Amino acid sequence: MAVIGYMRVSTHYQKFDSQQQALKDYGVDKIFKEYESGRKSFRNELNKALNSLKPGDTFVIFKLDRLARGTKQLLVLLERFNEQNINFVSIENNIDTSTPMGRFFFTIMGAFAEMEAELIRERVLAGLSAAKKKGVILGRPPLVNQVNEALELYHNTKMSTEAISKRCGISTSTIYHHLRKDGIYRTKKVTYSEKGDKMLVSSGEKK
C-alpha cells in the first residue's frame, strides 16, 4: 500500500520547503508537486496523484488549503477517497480518515455541505416567493416586441420571412404561428420569370 503526497503553491516564486519537509517526515513514497491556483478544479499534477491511488493507499497533504479552496470541492474529493477505500491525511489539520476521529471529521464535513446546500435552496425559494408576491413575472420574458416588429415588417415591407427572422431574432415558425393566429396562412402563388418559366413563391393570404 503506497503513501502518496501532494503539495501545491500558486506561483513559481513560492517555495515548497515546509510542505516538502512535512511530507518527507510523514514517510510518503512519492510526492507530486504543483504550481497552480487552488481555485482551479482541474490541476494536472493533482489528477496524476489521484489517478495513481489504489484501494488501501494513503493520500497525504500538508494543509487542507493545499488541496481545495472551498468546502464543496474538498467534500467531492473526500467522497471519492471514501468510495475508493483510500485514507486521507492532512498533517497540519490533524486529520487522518483511517482513525475514528478522521472518519468523524468526514461525517461533519458532509453534514455541513448538506446544510449549506439546503440553506441555498431555501433562500432561492424565498426569493422566488417574494418576487411573485410583488407581481414579478418569472421565467423567460415573452417575445412580444420581437413578434410585433416581425409582423409589422411582414405586412409593410417586401422582406422575406427568413430576413425578418434574422432581424428580429425569432424563428420563422414563430412568425408563421402568429400570422396564423391573425388568420393569415402560407399559400403558393404562381409567378413567371423573364423567360416565361413558372415559379412558385410563398405568400401570406388571409382566409
Residues near 155 by beta carbon (within 8 Å), at least 6 away in sequence: none
pLDDT of 28 above 50 = yes
Residue ranges per structural domain of the chain: 3-114, 144-206
Spelled out in words, what is the top-level CATH class assigned to the domain 3-114? alpha beta
Q: pLDDT averaged over the chain?
A: 81
Give ∠ CA 153-157-161 in degrees, rounded to 5.
60
Quick one: cell of 25? 517526515
CATH of region 144-206 = 1.10.10
Under the banding of pLDDT at 50, 70 and 90, the label for residue 197 is: low
Q: Which one of the listed residues 10, 37, 52, 203 is annotated catalytic?
A: 10
160 is catalytic: no
Distance CA 34, CA 75 (A): 20
Structure confidence by residue, pLDDT tens digits, 63-84: 988 888 777 778 788 888 988 9
- Which amino acid does the sequence have at 87? N
Q: Which residue, chain included where needed, has cell 413575472?
A: 137
Q: Do domains 3-114 and 144-206 have the same CATH topology?
A: no
Q: Which residue, chain included where needed, has cell 471529521?
A: 105
141 sits in which H/E element: none
State the CB neighbour count (10 A cutoff) for residue 88.
22
